[in-house]
């Protein structure tokens, strides 16, 4: 098994320095959060998934999802769909938008996605999945990666054969979430399958599932030999996790957790970035979910979460956070 550190590895010809990667998450890994993750040591940031059909039909919201800043690179932009022609076209649009890597989602378990045969539903149709991946590989000059699960359910954990098939069409790396589609995000991720995939493939493998801190990141890397950890829910309201992983892999040091005031200050920064890129009206609405994650576990967090959910202006949000910070100081 390879020694785990923060050295540079490659997805195709794209150098990745570090082992902690921001996973693609709808409603989370937008430009505001990607900038925070990058600032806090993410080796690679992945965008929210973008519909290949949305790109094909030039949906305005889809265009907004394609925007990225220079400081984010390297950026992996994730697309989803099950039509090879649409995927090829979308891959080219994503490449022109500046993505360093095109990632295809074959792991999303959400009903709205799988009901169209997209996301993890592609694991039930490996021939089509291979054609989809190959269409992207042939359409662009940047590396193409694929994110997948263990299979559809406990009776069809076909990830090993599926990953081999995907590798055979020229994909540059894969990411494996250690759950089936049926599990959604419940139960525990089974990392043993990630280990099997890593041992069978020649391309890099990223492991995903139940990485919530530096210790679990190191455990996943050690147990599976995978090249990097893809951090999803563990990064929600927690951009510090990337530097925590980096530091622990570098010298075994566990960084202190952010204080209550550091968490509130980061929440404000996140809010300001949302307002900058999406406008105040949308920023005020979208910060509500993030706020719940940032303040979770703090004194009276339920009361303040409920209050934040009733706010509609930038001034009101900032005033609420300032009041909460003052209350915490007095405690």
Average pLDDT over residues 208-236: 97
What DSSP state is assigned to residue 227?
S
User: What is the percent of the chain where pLDDT is above 90?
Assistant: 92
| Cα separation of the two ends of the chain | 49
> CA nearest 130: which of 178, 162, 85, 175?
162
- Decide if 193 is inside a domain: yes
Total domains, the chain: 2
Domain region containing 212: 8-251
- Decide if 3 is inside a domain: no
Which domain-ending residue is among 251, 280, 299?
A: 251
Q: What is residue 57's predicted lDDT score, i.e. its pLDDT?
A: 80
Average pLDDT over residues 200-213: 98
CATH number of the CATH domain containing 38 = 3.20.20.70
Task: Enumerate long-range contacts of 39-42, CB under 8 Å, 24 or more apart.
Answer: 39/239, 40/239, 40/240, 40/241, 40/242, 40/243, 41/242, 41/243, 41/245, 41/246, 42/18, 42/242
pLDDT tens-digit profile of 83-112?
999 999 999 999 999 999 999 999 999 999
Task: Enumerate long-range contacts of 48-51, CB under 8 Å, 24 or more apart.
Answer: 48/24, 48/78, 49/24, 49/78, 49/79, 49/80, 49/105, 49/108, 50/77, 50/78, 50/79, 50/80, 50/90, 50/94, 51/79, 51/80, 51/81
The confidence band for 253, taking pLDDT boundaries of 50, 70 and 90, is very high
Average pLDDT over residues 51-78: 88
Annotated binding site for FMN: 24-26, 78, 147, 177, 232-233
**Same domain for 184 and 267:** no
pLDDT tens-digit profile of 118-128?
999 999 999 99
- Decide if 2 is inside a domain: no
**Same domain for 285 and 159:** no
**Same domain for 174 and 314:** no
**CA–CA distance, 203 with 181 (Å, rounded to integer):** 24
- Decide if 37 is inside a domain: yes
**Same domain for 276 and 232:** no
CB proximity list for 325: less than 8 A, separation 6 or greater: 260, 261, 264
Average pLDDT over residues 196-208: 98
The confidence band for 61, taking pLDDT boundaries of 50, 70 and 90, is confident
Average pLDDT over residues 293-300: 96
- Catalytic-residue membership of 226: no
**Same domain for 90 and 235:** yes
**Same domain for 107 and 74:** yes
The CA-based diameter of the chain, rounded to the nearest angstrom, is 62
User: What is the percent of the chain where pLDDT is above 70?
Assistant: 98
Q: Which of 46, 108, 226, 275 is catalytic?
A: 108
Average pLDDT over residues 29-49: 97
- Decide if 123 is inside a domain: yes
Taking the complete model, does pTM exceed 0.85, yes or no?
Answer: yes
- Decide if 1 is inside a domain: no
> CA nearest 25: which of 42, 41, 39?
42
């Amino acid at each position: 098994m390879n020694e785990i550190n923060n050295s540079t590895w490659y997805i195709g010809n794209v150098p990745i320095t570090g082992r902690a990667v921001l996973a693609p998450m709808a409603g989370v890994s937008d430009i505001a959060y990607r900038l925070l993750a990058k600032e806090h040591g993410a080796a690679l940031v992945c965008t929210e998934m973008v519909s290949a059909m949305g790109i094909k039909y030039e949906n305005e919201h889809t265009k907004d999802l394609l925007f990225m800043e220079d400081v984010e690179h390297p950026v992996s932009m994730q697309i989803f769909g099950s039509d090879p022609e649409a995927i090829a076209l979308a891959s080219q649009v994503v490449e022109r938008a500046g993505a360093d890597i095109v990632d295809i989602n074959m792991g999303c378990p959400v009903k709205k996605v799988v009901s169209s045969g997209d996301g993890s539903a592609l694991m039930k149709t490996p021939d089509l999945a291979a054609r989809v991946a190959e269409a992207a590989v042939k359409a662009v000059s940047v590396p193409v990666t694929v994110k997948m699960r263990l299979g559809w359910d406990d009776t069809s954990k076909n990830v090993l054969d599926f990953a081999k098939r995907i590798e055979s069409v020229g994909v540059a790396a894969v990411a494996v979430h250690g759950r089936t589609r049926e599990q959604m995000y419940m139960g525990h991720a089974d990392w043993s399958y990630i280990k099997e995939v890593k041992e069978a493939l020649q391309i890099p493998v990223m492991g995903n599932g139940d990485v919530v801190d530096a210790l679990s990141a190191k455990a996943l890397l050690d147990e599976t030999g995978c090249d990097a950890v893809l951090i999803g829910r563990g990064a929600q309201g927690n951009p510090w996790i990337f530097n925590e992983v980096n530091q622990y892999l570098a010298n075994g040091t566990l960084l202190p957790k952010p204080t209550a005031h550091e968490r509130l200050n980061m929440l404000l920064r996140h809010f300001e970035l949302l307002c900058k890129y999406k406008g105040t009206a949308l920023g005020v609405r979208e910060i509500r979910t993030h706020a719940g994650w940032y303040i979770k576990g703090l004194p009276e967090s339920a009361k303040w979460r409920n209050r934040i959910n009733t706010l509609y202006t930038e001034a009101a949000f900032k005033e609420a956070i300032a009041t909460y910070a003052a209350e915490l100081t007095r405690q």
